[in-house]
Every structure is written in structure tokens, then in C-alpha cells.
Chain A
Amino acid sequence: ETGVTQSPTHLIKTRGQQVTLRCSSQSGHNTVSWYQQALGQGPQFIFQYYREEENGRGNFPPRFSGLQFPNYSSELNVNALELDDSALYLCASSRGSQETQYFGPGTRLLVL
């Protein structure tokens, strides 16, 4: 059984640019949640996608958006990048919106 995968592993962008991060959910999982983890902090919930619809959102501005595809993989898009967007972005998949979440290895984003 393949676990949660994310791409790319690392990314460097400049302020004002746009970025797309990708996540493939674990086999049998229909829900993907995205988290932002600043250095030395606990992850913060961005949003969750369940059956291709946004199912809940944390305290992040609209320039953070996402998609979920029919195969339940997901994308996180961030527009107008700011320096404070530099962080580890984690995605987690689960069998349902309230089920246990299993995390991918993360994408490290650096905004210069």
C-alpha cells in the first residue's frame, strides 16, 4: 500500500510569485487536509478537501486555494507569495473527513 506522497520536496520562490504543491493520497483515502508548519512550531490547518469539495478551512487568506481531483489527489495553490509563507507544507489523507489522518513527507517552501 503506497503512502501519502508530496511533490516537490523543496521549492524556492520570490515574493509575489505563485506556487502549486501536490499531494497524492494513500490508497482507499478520499480526504486530503493541508497544513502549514513554520520552523519550530506545530502545524496549522489550512483546509480540507472531501470528495473534491472544500470541506473546512482554517484562518488563512483567500490567496491560499486548493483542488481535489477525481483520484483524490490534491493541489495547494498560493498566490502573491509573502516572506511569511516560508514553511513546511504538509498534506494528510484519511478514509473520511473525520478519520485518522496520515501525513506525507512535506514540501519545504522558501520565499525570498
Chain B
Amino acid sequence: AQTVTQSQPEMSVQEAETVTLSCTYDTSESDYYLFWYKQPPSRQMILVIRQEAYKQQNATENRFSVNFQKAAKSFSLKISDSQLGDAAMYFCAYNAGGTSYGKLTFGQGTILTVHP
């Protein structure tokens, strides 16, 4: 079974600084997708970034970028120029590409606090 591990229950960062959230996963599949979602206190899960395993290039979305290390099964999220609105719970998620349905497997989450 696939598992996703986020080893940092909590992280904090100063506004305008950079922070990196860690995620590792375990799978025997070669075709899969990885995601970072954020969940603010309002509780709606918002997609931050997506990475296809077959792509060697790391995904970026404005201030958000990932470091995808397929051999190490590592998928970290870097947030640059942190803003107060980035404060949220961040979840790393995995989706096996070879199955007939899209089941997301989530990590336990990392609470990110942004200090002004």
C-alpha cells in the first residue's frame, strides 16, 4: 500500500522569508502524481501544485516550487517570499496513475505559521 509521510508536524517562517516543507512517500508504482494542498482554517482544501512522476522538471507555481527526487521518493515544497495568507495546514498527497480511479493518499499534514 502506498503511504505518505510528512515528518514536520509544525513549521514557522517570517514574512518574506523562504520555507521548505518535507514529504516522503512509499510506492512500487512507476506512474503516479504528487500534489501539495493547503487547508486554511476555513477548511477548504486548495490545490497548490501538482507533479507528474514521469516529468523530471520540478513543477513551479509563482512563489511555490517543488523539489521532486524520484529515486529518493521525496517531494518537498518550497514557499518563497512567504505571506501571511500562506498560513495553513499543508498536505502532501499521492495518486497512483495506473489504477482506474483517482484515490488520493494524504500525509498527516504540516501546520505552517507565518510571523509578521
Contact = CB atoms under 8 A, between A and B. Distances in A.
B103 A103 contact: no
B46 A43 contact: no
Nearest to B97: A98
Contacts of A44: 106
Q: How large is the interface on B (under 10, 10 to 19, 20 to 34, 35 or more residues)?
A: 20 to 34
Interface residues of A, number: 30
B47 A42 contact: no
Contact of A102 (B47, B97, B101): B47
Interface of A: 31, 33, 35, 40-45, 48, 50, 55-56, 58, 88, 90, 92, 94, 96-106, 108
Interface of B: 4, 33, 35, 37, 42-47, 50, 91, 93, 95, 97, 99-109
